[in-house]
C-alpha cells in the first residue's frame, strides 16, 4: 500500500452467536464434569466420553476462532487490499484496472449471502463480520465481491476522492 486513504479492521461482534456457543460449551462442560470427572452417567442415555469431550471443547474452539478472525481492508490510489485473516494467509490485491465499478451499498447479509463471514451467494462473494453496509466491487470479468464495512461514509468519501466509477457510471 502506497499511502492508504482508507484502513479498516473488523471483528465479529454478534453477542448472540458468542452466547449460543458459550452456552453449548457450558452444557458440555457440565456433562463432562458429571460423567468423566465425577463418574456419574450424564442423562438417561449418556453419550460416550469422547462425545462429551467433543461437545465441550469444540464450541470453545469455534468461539476462539471467531475471536481471532479479522477482516482487514485498505484502499489507495492503486487499488483495494483485503484480508480475512487467518482464512487468507496473504493479502488479496485488487487493482483498479480490474474493477468496472465500486460503490458503497446497503445489503441483506442473510437474504443475499446466507449470513456473515466468508460467503458465496447469488450476488457473488461476500466478506463481512457484522452490519449491512459494504463496498460492492464489480469486476471487468463480470464477477462481484462485497466487502463489509462499519465506515460507509468514510469509504464513500474515499471512492469519490479517487473518482472511482459507481453503479450509475457504467
Average pLDDT on 83-103 reads 93
With cut-offs at 50, 70 and 90, classify the pLDDT of residue 87.
confident
User: CA 113 to CA 119: how far, in whole Å?
Assistant: 6
Average pLDDT on 111-125 reads 85
pLDDT tens digits for range 36-46: 888 888 877 78
Q: What is the DSSP letter of 155?
A: H
User: CA 48 to CA 42: how far, in whole Å?
Assistant: 10
Q: Cis omega (within 30 of 0) on the bond before 62?
A: no
- Does this model's pTM top 0.85? no
> Torsions phi, psi of 163, nearest 5?
55, 45
The set of cell numbers assigned to 151 is 465506515
CA angle 132, 138, 143 (to 5 degrees): 105
pLDDT over 50 (residue 94): yes
Amino acid at each position: 500500500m502506497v499511502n492508504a486513504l482508507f484502513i479498516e479492521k473488523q471483528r465479529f461482534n454478534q453477542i448472540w452467536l458468542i452466547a449460543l456457543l458459550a452456552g453449548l460449551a457450558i452444557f458440555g462442560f457440565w456433562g463432562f464434569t458429571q460423567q468423566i470427572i465425577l463418574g456419574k452417567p450424564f442423562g438417561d442415555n449418556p453419550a460416550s466420553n469422547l462425545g462429551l469431550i467433543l461437545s465441550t471443547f469444540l464450541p470453545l474452539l469455534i468461539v476462539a476462532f471467531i475471536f481471532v478472525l479479522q477482516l482487514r481492508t485498505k484502499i489507495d490510489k492503486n487499488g483495494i487490499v483485503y484480508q480475512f485473516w487467518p482464512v487468507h494467509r496473504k493479502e488479496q490485491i485488487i487493482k483498479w484496472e480490474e474493477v468496472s465499478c465500486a460503490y458503497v451499498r446497503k445489503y441483506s447479509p442473510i437474504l443475499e449471502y446466507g449470513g456473515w463471514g466468508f460467503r458465496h451467494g447469488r450476488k457473488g462473494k461476500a466478506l463481512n463480520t457484522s452490519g449491512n453496509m459494504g463496498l460492492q466491487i464489480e469486476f471487468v470479468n463480470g464477477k462481484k465481491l462485497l466487502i463489509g464495512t462499519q465506515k460507509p461514509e468514510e469509504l464513500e468519501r474515499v471512492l469519490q476522492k479517487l473518482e472511482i466509477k459507481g453503479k450509475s457510471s457504467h
